[in-house]
Amino acid sequence: MLTDPANENRVPAHWYNILADLPFELPPDLTPPAQRDHPRAMKLQLPLALVRQSMTRERLIPIPEPVLQKYLSWRPTPLRRARALEHQIGTRARIYYKYEGGNASGSHKLCTALAQAYYYASAGTGRLVTGTGAGQWGTALAVACQEFGLACKVYMVAKSFQEKPYRKTIMRLYDAEIVPSPDPEAQRAALSSGPGEVHPGNIAYAVTEAFSDALAHPGTQLSVGSGEAYAILHSTVVGLEAREQLGPAEQPDIVIGSLGAGSNFGGIAMPFIGQKLRGESDVRCVAVEAQSCPKLTRGQYRYDYTDGSGVSPLQKMYTLGSRFTTGGGHIGGLRYHACSKIISALYHHRLVEASASSQSDIFASGVLFSRTEGILPAPESAHAVHAAIEMAKRADEEGTAPVILFCLSGHGLFDLASYEEYLNGTLEDVPVSDEEIRRSLAHLPELDVKAAG
C-alpha cells in the first residue's frame, strides 16, 4: 500500500507473550544424556534476545524497529469475511479469514523468519541453516536472510524437494542454497560402506542435518521455524492484527489454525487464548492437525527431542516420537512429529482443542475455498479451512451462529501437483495405525518417560 499512517497504526508494534498469562508452570526442558557427552553441541548459541523471549513474563514484547519496517512492506495482511463461502455452504455462521500468503515467501512463516534473521545478524552470525518440510519455512528463511545480509542453506525433506522443484527456484532467487534431506550422496556412501540405514526423511531429520552443518561451520547457526516459544511469539502479529481488524464489536467464538509444530496455530490463536486466560472471553481455539501426523489427537504427552539429533533439549510435548516417518501424503508442512511445548501444555490443560483432518477432506475444502473465495490454500492451510467449514455446519445443526476466525496461512501455488492428483481422483489417504505410533514412541529413551512421569 501507499505509505499510509493509518495503515502503520494497524500493524501491531509488539508481539504477544502467552507466558504472561499462563495459569500453570511449563515443565522444564531437560538436557539429554547424549548432550552431556557431546559438549560441541553447546557451541550453537541462541541470540540472547531469543533466549529472553523464551522465558520472560512480559506480556507485550516490542517489535524491533528494523523488523517492524520489514513487516510494513506487506502488513497489515487482509482480514476478509468469507461471504461467498458462507453463501455456498448455506451457513448462518460468520466466517472470517486472515490471509498470510501474500508475501514473498507465500506464508505466515516470514513473521518469525525476519525476526530470527534480525536477531542472529545482530548477534554476529553470518550464516543460517535450517530444515524444511514443504518448503514454506525454508523459503521464508531464505527471504529473511537476504533482507538482513545473511547466507542461508536449507535442508528440505527429500520427498517435498522432488515434488516441488519450484520451491528450490524460489529459494535460489533469494540466494539460498538448498539440498534434499537426507543427502543422497551421504546415503549412497553409507550404503556402499556397509549395512547403512537409509532414512526416509522427515523434518526432524532435516533439522538434524542442518544442525551438523552448523556445528561444522563457525559463524553458522541453526534456525528453526515453528515449535520454539519465540517462533510462536513472533507469529502472534497475525492474531493481534486480526483482533484489531475485527473491531471491538466482533468477538470470535471459535479461532482455528492448522498445526505443524505451532507457529501457524499459535500465531493466530495466542492473543485470543490470552483473552480467555484473562477472563475476557470464552473463545474456543482449535488446532487442526493432519490425520497422517496426529500428535495431539493420538500422540503422548511426554519428553521428546525437538529434532532427530538426540542432543537437542528434551521438551515435554505431545509427540509421536522424533523418528516418526509413517503416514505421508502431501502435507509436508504439518509433518513435524510433535507439538510445541506451550501449545501441548495448553492442550493438556484443556485450554485449546484439537481435531485431525484427512487428506481427501482438506483437498475438497481447499478446492471449495478456491472456487468461492478466489485463493487456493496450501494443503497445510486447507486444514484450517476444512475445520472452519465443518464447525460452521455443526453450528447450523445446533442452531447457533458463531463468529469463526481462521488463519489462511499460505497459498497453494506450489502444491498444484497434489491438487492435480486430487482432481484426477488418485489422491489416497494414508492412515496411521496405532501400532506404528506405538513403535515410533518406543524409540524414546526410558529416561524421558521417567522425567515425564
Query: Cell digits for 57?
Result: 513474563
Shortest CB 141 distance to a copy of itself, Å: 14
Stretch that binds a copy of itself, among 189-197, 202-210, 414-422, 436-444 (CB under 8 A): 414-422
Q: Which of 423, 428, 449, 450 contacts a copy of itself by CB under 8 A?
A: 423
Judged by CB under 8 A, the residue of 64, 370, 401, 439 near a copy of itself is 370
- Does 66 sit near a copy of itself (CB under 8 A)? no
Minimum gap (Å) between residue 256 Cβ and a copy of itself: 18
CB of 420 to a copy of itself, least distance (A): 4
Q: Which three cell numbers stand for residue 182?
A: 537426507
C-alpha dihedral over 214, 263, 313, 196, to 10 degrees?
-60
Closer residue to a copy of itself (CB): 85 or 207: 85
Question: Could you give phi then psi for residue 155, rounded to 5 degrees?
Answer: -100, 115
Q: Is 323 exposed, middle or buried (0-12, 13-18, 19+ CB in 10 A)?
A: buried
**Of 376 and 385, which CB lies nearer to a copy of itself in the complex structure?**
376
Q: Establish if 2 lies at the interface with a copy of itself (CB under 8 A).
A: yes
Please give the backbone phi and psi of residue 111, each rounded to the nearest 5 degrees, phi first.
-60, -50
Residues 68-87 that bind a copy of itself (CB under 8 A): 73-74, 78-81, 84
Cα–Cα distances (Å) from 125 to 122, 211, 425, in that order, read 7, 15, 48
Q: How far apart are CA 132 and CA 196, in angstroms?
A: 24
- Residue among 241, 253, 307, 373 that touches a copy of itself (CB under 8 A): 373
Distances (CA, A) of 139 to 37, 107, 169, 196, 427: 34, 9, 10, 31, 26
Residue of the chain from 290, 376, 387, 404 that contacts a copy of itself (CB under 8 A): 376
CA geometry: angle 347, 351, 352, nearest 5 deg: 60
The candidate with the shortest Cα–Cα distance to 182, out of 164, 162, 212, 157, is: 157
The 147-166 site mask, x for binding a copy of itself (CB under 8 A), equals ------------------xx
Nearer to a copy of itself, 96 or 119 (CB): 96
Distance CA 81, CA 71 (A): 23
DSSP state of 377: B
Closest separation in Å from C-beta 105 to a copy of itself: 8
Residue list 226-265, contact with a copy of itself (CB under 8 A): 245-247
Stretch binding a copy of itself (CB under 8 A), from 169-177, 213-221, 350-358, 442-450: 169-177
Q: Which residues bind a copy of itself (CB under 8 A)?
A: 1-3, 73-74, 78-81, 84, 96, 102-104, 106, 143, 146, 165-166, 168-170, 172-175, 245-247, 367, 370-371, 373-376, 413-414, 416-417, 419-420, 423
